[in-house]
A and B are shown apart, each in its own frame.
Chain A
Amino acid sequence: MKEYRDKPTEFHAPSEAEIKARSKRNVAIAIGLAAFMIFVFVTMIARGG
């Protein structure tokens, strides 16, 4: 069966600065989530103990 998909009609390639800012945000989110996860585990385990 043939698929029909819309092609982007107004695609704007992101600039270097935008890509750089996004990468930094991604790294910060990853670090933040990892820290939060460790925080939750430590807190829960210590509380349980």
Chain B
Amino acid sequence: MAAAQNNTNIKAVSSDAAFNPSGLSLAEPRDYFALMKPRVMSLVVFTAWAGLMLAPGSLPLWKAIASITCIAAGAGASGALNMWYDADIDAQMSRTKKRPLPQGKMNPNAALGFGIAISAASVWMLYIASNMVAAALLAFTIFFYLVIYTMWLKRSTPQNIVIGGAAGAFPPMIGYAAVTGTITVDSVLLFLIIFMWTPPHFWALALYKAGDYGKVGIPMMPNVAGAKSTRLQIFVYAVILAVVSLAPIHTGLGGRVYAVAAVLLNLGFLALSFKVWQSRAGEKADAADEASLYAVTKGDRAARNLFLYSILYLFALFGVLAAEALLGA
């Protein structure tokens, strides 16, 4: 009985946490914007634009702008729904504790309503602006990110970001489908590049933030399989990524400029991944042993360098691919 009452009290406190006695919240428009994960959204906008540029045929300018706006809004809405569901763990991680919900600026129901409304509007408007295939892909992406990744995989398996990475890989495919209304080998290749890029990108981050994820019980690869296994898997995925990213040359999606850029970018990615593999990134240093402390810090720095480089890599790869198609057309 006492326990039940206690639970009720906790629930009442948590649902009212974002409200002051007057009943008004302190959430400003910028908090709602933060809810949409603007940095992720910028990558989505860019890859969707690349997909749109690479598709055979073209869209009128206003349709292209409308389609990218809808894809960005859909991605933002799924980000908001992710933050609504993950508010409990976000509050305990240094990387996420400054988000609007953990800070208590916003009522969770407001975030949920915002996410649902923007999701519905973005899918419907994409259907009107482009076609059914693109709209269906966007709806599936939002469903995949919220239900498959956030609610199911994230807290249950170290393969969470491997499978969940599909959600982030769909935008160029949606952009491509907005023009053609179909899914082709080329659009699947664009999907595969981001799909194979996601594990090394996130695991590099997880290596030097392993403590954060472990604290909240998220089974990221370094916490489950260990740092050594994760470093090896990062390198394996980097090799697969190199092969997949060269495939557009064979299908004709990428030309000579892309071939040169892809080889150089992949050499950089492989070199940094190799450095991480050979390092002691993600391990626990023996505080008494200065050499061990130095090696782990150096390894973590290598993981951080790979994480930052991976962002540049994706922007550059898609940028060159799209620019070549744009200038060649």
Q: Which of A8-45 contact B (CB under 8 A)?
A: 10, 12-15, 17-19, 21-22, 24-25, 27-28, 36, 39-40, 42-44
B29–A25 contact, CB under 8 A? yes
> In the complex, what residue of chain B is closest to A13 when comparing beta carbons?
B22
Number of A-B contacts (CB under 8 A): 49
A residues within 8 A CB of B60? 46
Given contacts A28-B29, A28-B32, A47-B128, contact A42 B62 (CB under 8 A): yes
Given contacts A36-B121, A47-B128, contact A21 B26 (CB under 8 A): yes
- Give Cα A4–Cα B232 distance, bound, in whole angstroms: 75
Given contacts A28-B32, A43-B128, A43-B129, contact A21 B21 (CB under 8 A): no
Q: Which of B13-27 contact A (CB under 8 A)?
A: 20-27
Interface size on B, residues (CB 8 A): 20
B246 interface hit (Cβ, 8 Å): no
A residues within 8 A CB of B129? 43
Contact partner, A43, options B21, B27, B29, B66, Cβ 8 Å: B66
Q: How far is the CB of A45 from chain B (nearest CB, A)?
A: 11
B125 interface hit (Cβ, 8 Å): yes
A residues within 8 A CB of B28? 21, 24-25
A12–B22 contact, CB under 8 A? yes
B27–A18 contact, CB under 8 A? no
> In the complex, what residue of chain A is closest to B69 when comparing beta carbons?
A39
B residues within 8 A CB of A27? 29
A18–B125 contact, CB under 8 A? no
> In the complex, what residue of chain B is closest to A32 when comparing beta carbons?
B29
A residues within 8 A CB of B22? 12-15, 18
A18–B128 contact, CB under 8 A? no
- Give Cα A27–Cα B28 distance, bound, in whole angstroms: 10
- Give Cα A39–Cα B22 distance, bound, in whole angstroms: 36
A residues within 8 A CB of B20? 12, 14-15, 18
B residues within 8 A CB of A12? 20-23
- Give Cα A30–Cα B66 distance, bound, in whole angstroms: 20
Given contacts A12-B21, A43-B66, contact A24 B29 (CB under 8 A): yes
- Give Cα A19–Cα B24 distance, bound, in whole angstroms: 8
B25–A21 contact, CB under 8 A? yes
- Give Cα A42–Cα B128 distance, bound, in whole angstroms: 11
A44–B128 contact, CB under 8 A? yes
Q: How far is the CB of B64 from chain A (nearest CB, A)?
A: 12
A residues within 8 A CB of B26? 17-18, 21
B residues within 8 A CB of A39? 66, 69, 125
B128–A21 contact, CB under 8 A? no
Q: How far is the CB of A47 from chain B (nearest CB, A)?
A: 6
Given contacts A28-B29, A39-B125, contact A21 B24 (CB under 8 A): yes
14 additional A-B pairs beyond A12-B21, A42-B62, A42-B66, beta carbons within 8 Å, are A12-B20, A12-B22, A13-B22, A14-B22, A14-B24, A15-B22, A17-B26, A21-B26, A25-B27, A28-B29, A28-B32, A44-B128, A46-B60, A46-B62
11 contacts across the A-B interface (CB closer than 8 A) = A12-B23, A18-B22, A21-B24, A25-B28, A25-B29, A28-B29, A28-B32, A36-B121, A39-B69, A40-B128, A43-B66
